Amino acid sequence: MKLLFELFTEELPASEMSGLDNRAKETLTSLLDANDIGYQDLKIYITPRRIAIKFKCADSINAKEKKVMGPPENICFKDNKPTKALEGFLKKNNATMDDIEIEDTKKGKYVTLIIKGESKAVKPMMPNIMQNFLQKLHFNKKMRWGSGEFEFIRPIHNITFTIDDEIVDFEFAGVSSTSYTYGHRFLSKDKIRLTYDNYEKELESGFVIVNQEKRKQIILNQLESICKKENLQMIYDDDLLDEVTNLTEYPKIVLGSFEEKFLKLPKEVLITSMKDHQRYFAFMKDNRLANKFAAVSNIETDDMSIIQTGYERVLRARFADAEFFFEEDSKHRLEEFVSGLNNMTFQEKLGTQYDRTLRLMELSGFIAWLLQFSQDKAMRAAYLSKADLLTQMVYEFPELQGVMGKEYALLSGEDKEVAEALYEQYLPKEDEVPKTQAGISLSMADKFDLIVGGFIANLKPTGTKDPYALRRAALGIIKTTLDNKLSFELSKPIDKAQKLYKKDTNTKEIIDFIKTRFTNYLSDYPHDALSAVVESKFNDIYDAYLRLDALNKLFENDPNKENRFAIKRVFNIVKDFDKKDVDKSLFTQDEEKELYNAIEEIEKKVNELVFDKKYNDILNSVVSIKSVINKFFDNVMVMDKDEKIKNNRLSLLNRLKSIVLNVADFKFLEI
């Protein structure tokens, strides 16, 4: 059976189309799986005006066999004859004595029935499945149209729904199914009859490239051709490529240019204006920004120069505005904007941006001191950190905050590291993290201030909602810390931030919040290793990572879990026993003395190893006495009847446990 379904709508918003193919696939496959319908060659097509599905499946399905438990055997039979209870059970399930079986269970012998599933035709099921599919398909915002109460992402104009190229009786939002669709809004006028096998080809005849991956490749091929012909290097941008793919059904690249005088503006201004405001691709030439751009048109004409001229005219106006803003902003030193932050609210419960600037100065200086960085540069950067929010350029292009702060700081004669920190405060972004001392200090301060302020004002994330991006801030702290190999106690900047707010919140709750982000960020590691590390202690992100890495190496070198098992035996028997004083005079077996001597040797160097964070060496030292540990457990009765001897042996094992706890708590390991 071959199913073809296409929903033809008004233009879908590009923001909703991101990931729509995956959401559609997950929604549909879950419905098919729930109905035990197998499928092959499933394809999801997304264009600005259509959501389409194709797949093959069997004409019918066999429902699964079902086991029905009946009464206990002794209730079903009396003197080897069926009782009323058994007869009632058989009647209820339309079965006979020949159908029953006796099954042994933990509770005894029970009568059971195996009810065989009946064959079901798939075709009658599909309208209901597609109805559920459209209702369950997730969109962030839906709308109503006309006088109806029905909600969907955009008004629906046509529904194509065929099975084996025959129309299926189906209605959704007042629109009945057909076997045809419509092509490109401007380039195609006639209805297009659709068949399963030639769906893509038939739409292409109507100037629609329905396959989104094919559209993306067409755009890339055209861009690469332009680069080769014009000797340019495209500034590749995945997000922009996806967006223009989602905005077009028949993409055609138009190459345009702009006056070279605009190249005196910071290149970030030009690139941002081209990408975010016009969705144009920018190019480099000879290691500098070229005065060329590529726009993706959704139409092809005999004279594309008319479209090119329109694109150039719009961009020229944008750049002229940017030029004016830049010149006006440059008439002032960056620090002149700082006082105006008193009139800009940061968050209604957390004061103004000027209040925040003062906090960031103190917190940046504190973090710089904590990391043994220059405090003066960190505090100067913090003082200027939000000044560019009041510039005309950032007002027009909010995405340039930090970027323009850096540019205006350099124009104002500020120190280069201070200027760079103004940009780095908004990192990490993708693979880019702060690298300068002032930038690291300011970026960290910005995020600690945001998280602590969020918890104080009860703006904590709930479920999938995180309007103040506290989770992203925590992840930024983690990435910056790990990438720069920074070791510090989390509680210190958290406590400092609370003092600057002059309000208290729960430090442990904030550390736990960051701990959760840490385990999510490093989820590629074994989950029991993560638990063993963070549950033993977590107040230093980089230290926790080093311990996790050491434990993971132990895992990799211990495929049969023999080393882990030997250590976990210690944790299993000691549990919450907290004494560590060992009396050698109470030893009665050589194995006790041998383990004691082995532990003493490790203890001599363990403090130095912890100080140097050589956690691999700690675990290797413990693993090196595995045979001694196993010999002890094999020959010594730890839980001796004599209370003193028992406690002495537990104390001995607890000293070994304490050594391992410097790395991880092995009670969380699954062995």
Percent of the chain with pLDDT over 90: 77
- Please give the domain boundaries of the chain with CATH numbers for all domains: 2-60+121-204 (3.30.70), 65-116 (no CATH), 212-329 (no CATH), 335-521 (1.10.3210), 544-668 (1.10.730)
Question: How high is the pLDDT of residue 149?
Answer: 78
- Asked if 563 contacts 550 with a C-beta cutoff of 8 angstroms, the reply is no
Residues 375-409: tens digit of each pLDDT: 999 999 999 999 999 999 999 999 999 999 999 99
401 secondary structure, DSSP code: T
- Asked if 92 contacts 69 with a C-beta cutoff of 8 angstroms, the reply is no
Mean pLDDT of the chain: 93
Residues 631-658: tens digit of each pLDDT: 999 999 999 999 999 999 999 999 999 9
Structure tokens at 252: 């055609």
Following DSSP, what letter does each residue of 131-142 receive, concatenated? Answer: HHHHHH---S--
Following DSSP, what letter does each residue of 42-99 receive, concatenated? Answer: EEEEEETTEEEEEEE--SEEEPPPEEEEEEEHHHHEETTEE-HHHHHHHHHTT--GGG
Grouping H, G, I as helix, E, B as strand and the rest as coil, residue 165 is coil
Residue type for 512, please? D
Residue type for 651, please? S
Residue type for 416, please? K
Question: How high is the pLDDT of residue 64?
Answer: 66
For residue 71, cis peptide bond before it (omega within 30 degrees of 0): no
Mean pLDDT for the stretch of residues 443-461 = 94
Residue located via tokens 């010594």 = 636
Residue type for 327, please? E
Terminal-residue alpha carbon distance, the chain = 48
pLDDT at 108 over 90: no
Say if pTM beats, i.e. exceeds, 0.85.
no
3-state helix/strand/coil string of 617-647: HHHHHHHCCHHHHHHHHHHCCCCCCCHHHHH
pLDDT at 45 over 70: yes
